[in-house]
Amino acid sequence: MVDVEEGIRRVTFRLPFGIDHVHCYFLRSSRGGWILVDTGLGVRDPEAQWRPVLDELDAPVERIVVTHMHPDHVGGARDLHELTGAPVLQGRDDYAQCVAAWGRRDPQRFLEWWSSHGIPEPLLGGLAHEAERLAAAVHWQEGPELLEAGDDVDGWRVDVLRGHADGHIALFRDGVMIAGDAILAGITPSIGLYPRSRPDPLGDYLETLDRIEALAPRIAYAGHREPVADPATRAREIRVHHEDRLERAQRALDGSPASGYDVSLALFPDELPPVLRRFATAETLAHLERLVLEGRAVRRGLAYVRAASAVDIPVPAS
């Protein structure tokens, strides 16, 4: 447990992913207790993982806030609710997506969707195995208190910052942002198109970057890596990154219909294990859909080609 500043404590857990850790935060409440933001993965023995952490606190956990429905953030929500008795709070849109993703799982439809976007058969088995492993670690809480943009959680204002997840929320107070994965230092949040997701996740995320730049918090405590010391500047850097990736995706379309998987091989040429290739394909699809909406590419069924007029549309300057 680390005190990152007065009234904010951080605990970090290891993850078995490409990114090997996740941060959860305790915020001092006005009543002297604690508000826990994010819960890590669900585990087989929550008592063993969390009891030493809870015992370090000088007061009980009063509320549990989930920033978004990805496994490493919502995964332990039910576990913590049962350990502490504290209610779980989650964004309204995010909870709907959580129920769709984890409560109404359809493994066959999941594989068919990725196959339709070009992922070859030999990789699908690895995706199915990884999906089952992840689902077992998502102990989401049914019936949380639902949050909307502008709501107040003990003096922290709720903002909906879409893109990394459809209903991702963050908390703001006195220049401090509890960011989840809306903004990260050193790496960029993954922005991908998934089954049941909103149709333009990259467009959503570019709006989120605008919002962060306008709010200009002093610091953002994120779900991974170090705190973001200048979130507005970091938002501008990430926007440039996505403009560059859009340009590269446009150039990867050579006139023949290409699937999201095909284009991902140009954008992410390294050899990747199945789950990371899925992320790369999802990220590629998000950029291809944005190109379609900007008139720089055309969808042919579930494949993409460069728009006939794309050569006349200037690529955004870096």
Is the model's pLDDT at 162 over the cut of 90? yes
> Which phi-psi region, left, alpha or beta, contains residue 53 (left: φ > 0; alpha: ψ -120 to 50)?
alpha
The whole-model pTM stands at: 0.93
Q: Are 306 and 253 in contact (CB under 8 A)?
A: yes
Where would I find the H helices in the chain? 46-56, 71-74, 77-84, 92-98, 107-116, 121-135, 201-215, 231-252, 260-267, 274-293
Domain ranges in the chain are 2-253
- Percent of the chain's residues with pLDDT above 70: 97
Q: Please provide residue 86's backbone torsions phi and psi, each rounded to the nearest 5 degrees.
A: -75, 145
Instruction: Provide the CATH number for the domain formed by 2-253 in this structure.
Output: 3.60.15.10
Q: Is it the case that residue 308 has pLDDT exceeding 80?
A: no
- The 10 Å Cβ neighbour count of residue 46 is 18
Q: Within 10 A of 188 (CB to CB), how many other CB atoms are there? A: 16
pLDDT value at position 18? 78
- CA–CA gap between residue 5 and residue 19 (Å, rounded): 25
d(CA 292, CA 12): 40
* pLDDT tens-digit series, residues 48-59: 999 999 999 999
